Amino acid sequence: MTRDTGDGPLPDGGTDATGADEVALDPWGSSTVDDYRKLFEEFGIEEFDDVLGEVPSPHYLMRRGVIFGHRDYRPVAEAMRNDEPFAALSGFMPTGDPHVGHKLVFDEIIWHQQRGGDAYGLIADLEAHAARDLSWEEIDEHTESYLLSLIALGFDPEEGEIYRQSTNREVQDLAFELGTKANFSELGAIYDFDGETEVSYMQSVVTQMADILYPQLDDPKPTVIPVGPDQDPHMRLARDLAARMRFFKVTEAYASFELEDDERELAARAYEALVDDADDADVRCVEAADWLEEESPDAPALWEAVEKLRSGGKEPLRPRVRFVDQNATDEAFEALIGAVDGEKRVYEGHVDAFEMDHEAAAELAREIEVDHGGYGFLPPSSIYHRFMTGLTGGKMSSSVPASHISLLDDPEDGYDKVKAATTGGRETAELQRELGGKPDECPVYELYAYLLAEADDDFAARVYEECATGERLCGDCKEQAAELMAEFLAEHQEKREEARELLAETDVQLESDRR
């Protein structure tokens, strides 16, 4: 998984997408992702490699392709480079002991905090109660454990914030407001809810949306949510709700009437083709319709665009930036009109500005919104890490003790679990030396790449290379990994004890009033 060796796994998962099964992402399921490329194709997740070069001193999980994808991470990377405000948040559902798979998310939050971001770690206790039917006693039993590991791994509670959903009134109030922009049909389509789904289950989803946007309550800023790919439905909904809460939608436009995105692209194409030859320096809507019929007869949405342009008749087709009133107060709308410099046209539901670019218009709209009591949310970003393979094969699961190493495991038990783990080795040592092992299919190699090699890329690359060429045999490899795991667990548990004092100084309520 290192980027430094040509023999490492492919950044897209190393499998052929041809004929692959359709990917289904379920935030509460237990499915694995067999082909990460399908996530790029079906859900629009972008490859992290495309943004890696823009990240200052990237984390080793980024360098090794463990963090494989993102949604809109560039604003966060830009904020880091320019020493501007940004935030990172992720949550933990306390359904069992924290394990080495959870450490990925802990590390990602901590790394962003160390890079200057506002960091948030939350206990998703409302979700655990509603979606997993855990009692408050069970939730309390695990809450402290997650927070101790988060702090022991390097989270600074004085500089960051940790909280429980059930005790954060600001999150609950925000969830109520977000709920005014979502409906049952939408949640049913995204999460497969039906008439038998409990209302509290649906409410827990909206609460998670509030968690994701919570870092921006006081001030809009780029915010990243580190998650596994199964959580992407939450991210898509949160980005939609952030946009719906805005006072103004800022778009590009070409006429007084509204065009859909694909129709707007056709209008832009016609305008660029005709503007240099326009007799009176204006391109007319009807002229654009004629040109599109002749030059782009097979374009998607052609006839919808042509019909709208023809209805515009002799109206000039001119590029502009449009502020569409979505939720603005009358005072905010009037303030926006006064703040737009240069030529503008004011309509009942929107304002067109002819001398502003889109970036400046978006910033102006946000300033006016915040000044008049709105949220001004930026779309939240996300990064996605690969699932860790369970030590017995399949997905690592808290409910299958043999599949994972708990951060609370006795170091000797951790040692034994690694020694008993499934590997990507051949049937015999002779075949291993002849054909090489299969580190891409090996849970033990993942332990090196994800955790045991830490930031030492050369060590991780060497383990991979020695396995793939047959130089490294499984017995010796597991012995080394088992010893490193025992050392990690002993050190981590010592730090957990030290973290108790720091946790006690926070205002996190470890025992719920709801018990």
Q: How many CB atoms lie within 10 A of CB 38?
A: 20
Which two structure tokens, joined as six digits, stand for 322?
A: 């449009």
CATH number of the domain encompassing residue 177: 3.40.50.620
Is the per-residue pLDDT at 457 higher than 90?
yes
Residues 166 and 260 in one domain: no
d(CA 499, CA 494): 9
Looking at the structure, do residues 131 and 222 belong to the same domain, yes or no? yes
Strands (E), 228-334: 248-253, 283-284, 316-317, 320-325
Does residue 176 sit in the same domain as residue 92?
yes
- Least trusted range by pLDDT, from 53-67, 170-184, 381-395, 455-469: 381-395
pLDDT of the residue at 41:
74
Contacts of 431 (CB under 8 A, 6+ apart): none
What is this structure's pTM? 0.89
Q: How confident is the model at residue 331 (pLDDT cuts 50, 70, 90)?
A: very high
Q: Are residue 448 and residue 462 in the same domain, yes or no?
A: yes
What integer pLDDT is reported at residue 279 of this predicted model?
61
- Rounded CA gap, 442 and 481, in Å? 12
Structural domain includes residue 512: no
Considering Cα of 288, then 291, then 292, then 293, what sign does the dihedral take? Answer: positive
- Residue 75 structure tokens: 């604003």
What one-letter code names the amino acid at 48?
F
Residue 65 within any structural domain of the chain: yes
pLDDT digits (tens, 9 = 90+) for 305-316: 999 999 999 999
Whether the per-residue pLDDT at 60 is higher than 70: the answer is: yes
Residue 77 is classified by DSSP as H
Lowest mean pLDDT among 100-104, 159-163, 173-177: 100-104
Largest Cα separation within the chain, whole Å, is 84
Q: Rounded CA gap, 69 and 381, in Å?
A: 11
**Residues 407, 452 share a domain:** yes
Q: Are residues 279 and 236 in the same domain?
A: no
Mean pLDDT in residue range 485-508:
97
Residue 429 sits in a domain whose CATH number is 1.10.240.10
* Percentage of the chain lying above the pLDDT 90 cut: 82
Q: Tell whether the model's pLDDT for residue 36 goes beyond 90.
A: no
Model confidence pLDDT, tens digit, residues 221-274 = 999 999 988 899 999 999 999 999 999 999 999 999 999 999 999 999 999 999
Confidence (pLDDT) at 400: 76
Q: Tell me, yes or no, whether 213 and 271 share the same domain.
A: no
pLDDT at residue number 276: 84
**Is 237 found in the same domain as 88?**
yes
Q: What is the pLDDT at residue 515? A: 83
| Angle subtended by helix axes 169-179 and 199-213, to nearest 10 | 110
Range of the domain at 316: 249-371
- 356 and 258 inside one domain: yes
Residue 21 reports pLDDT greater than 70: no
| pLDDT greater than 80 at residue 354 | yes
**Mean pLDDT, range 130-136, rounded to an integer:** 93
- Report the pLDDT value the prediction gives residue 297, as an integer from 0 to 100: 86
User: What's residue 401's pLDDT?
Assistant: 79
Best CA proximity match to 466, nearest among 489, 515, 433, 417:
433
In three-state secondary structure terms, 118 is strand
Phi, psi at 416, each rounded to 5°:
-65, -40
**pLDDT band, residue 278 (cuts 50/70/90):** low
* pLDDT, average across residues 105-120: 98
Whether 15 shows a pLDDT value over 50: the answer reads no
Which whole-number Å values give the CA distances from 93 to 109, 144, 155, 488, in the listed order? 16, 12, 18, 24
The whole-number pLDDT of residue 23 equals 46
Last residue of a domain, one of 341, 358, 385: 385
Backbone angles phi, psi at 251, to 5 degrees: -135, 170
Tell me which of 359, 385, 411 is where a domain ends.
Answer: 385
Angle between helices 302-312 and 261-274 (to 10 degrees): 60
Packing angle, helices 285-295 and 302-312, rounded to 10? 150
Q: Which two tokens stand for residue 306?
A: 């042509």
Contacts of residue 76, Cβ cutoff 8 Å, sequence gap at least 6: 86, 88, 112, 117, 222, 223, 224, 381
Going by pLDDT thresholds of 50, 70 and 90, the confidence category of residue 8 is very low
Question: Are 318 and 433 in a shared domain?
Answer: no
The answer to the question of residue 83 being in a domain is yes
Please tell me whether residues 169 and 69 are part of one structural domain. Answer: yes
Mean pLDDT of 372-381: 98
Return phi, psi of residue 494, to 5°: -65, -40
The whole-chain average pLDDT of the chain stands at 90
Answer yes or no: is pLDDT of 35 > 80. no
Q: If pLDDT is split at 50, 70 and 90, which confidence band does 377 have?
A: very high
Which helix H or strand E contains 394, and what residues bound it? none
Shared domain check, 175 and 72: yes
Q: In total, how many domains does the chain have?
A: 3
Angle, CA 320 vertex, CA 317 and CA 322 arms, to 5°: 120
Distance CA 420, CA 423 (A): 9
**In the predicted structure, residue 484 carries a pLDDT above the cut 90:** yes
Position 189 in a domain: yes
pLDDT at residue 7, as a whole number = 32
